[in-house]
Amino acid sequence: MTVQDPATGKTRFVVVPASYVFLLRESSDGAGTEVLLQLRQNTGYMDAHWAAAAAGHVERAETAEDAARREALEEIGVADLDLRFATAMQRTAHDLPIDERIDFFFTAHAWSGEPRIVEPAKCADLRWFPLSALPTPVVPHEAVVLAGLRDGDLPGLTHHGF
């Protein structure tokens, strides 16, 4: 995305930052790590796809961690997350003017409150899935991160769409 700098008149490149939270837990049956995913609806982006339980744009003067905590409270009603940085992803779609992004992915194994659907107009379902048996479809760039979490080889910086 580009904008014109009012001070110089020059066109500047703008990157949109977002934060994502994957809540993780060990399954009760010993099958391994599970992740909480939401089924998107009525958002205009990747509806009918499974996605991070909580995610959204980083607002002005807000850190990526603060955005992750805010989104988790707003979207699934949990607080006091023990956030762990997972990866940053530089992402583009070339043909969409807003889709030049930097995404910050976090995991949390501990939090307060019971995850629930807080925004039913945007979330059709909220479920735990084994990392080894994810539903389909998953938002493509998030699937990259989930695969890295599953395989234990997620680099600190990832890319998607290049």
> What CATH number does residue 83 fall under?
3.90.79.10
User: How many domains, the chain?
Assistant: 1
When comparing pLDDT for 11 and 25, which is higher? 25
**Which pLDDT score, from 0 to 100, does residue 96 have?**
60
**pLDDT number for residue 7:** 81
Sign of the torsion formed by the C-alpha atoms of 26, 122, 106 and 1: positive
pLDDT tens digits for range 49-68 = 999 999 999 999 999 999 99
The answer to whether position 1 is within a domain reads no
Q: Is the pLDDT of residue 17 over 70?
A: yes
Residue 161: pLDDT band (50, 70, 90) is: confident
| Separation of alpha carbons 133 and 150, rounded Å | 10
Q: Is residue 9 part of a domain?
A: no
Q: Which domain holds residue 24?
A: 15-160
Q: Which two tokens stand for residue 4?
A: 């014109």
Q: Binning pLDDT at 50, 70 and 90, where does residue 132 land? A: very high
- Cβ proximity of 122 and 42 under 8 Å: yes
Q: Residue 7 falls within a domain, yes or no?
A: no
Q: Determine the pLDDT at residue 73.
A: 98
CA 107 distance to own-chain centroid: 10
- Which pLDDT does position 31 carry in this prediction? 81
Q: Say if 73 falls within a structural domain.
A: yes
CA-to-CA separations, 47 to 44, 78, 131, in angstroms, rounded:
6, 23, 21
Closest CA to 80 of 112, 114, 118, 106: 112
| pLDDT of amino acid 40 | 97
Q: With respect to residue 5, please indicate whether it lies within any of the assigned structural domains.
A: no
Whole-number pLDDT of residue 6: 80
pLDDT in tens, 78-129: 999 999 999 999 998 766 655 688 999 999 999 999 999 999 999 999 999 9
* 45 vs 33: which has the higher pLDDT: 33
Measured in degrees and rounded to the nearest 5, phi and psi for residue 66 equal -65, -40
Find, among 49, 47, 52, 48, the residue nearest to 36 by Cα: 52
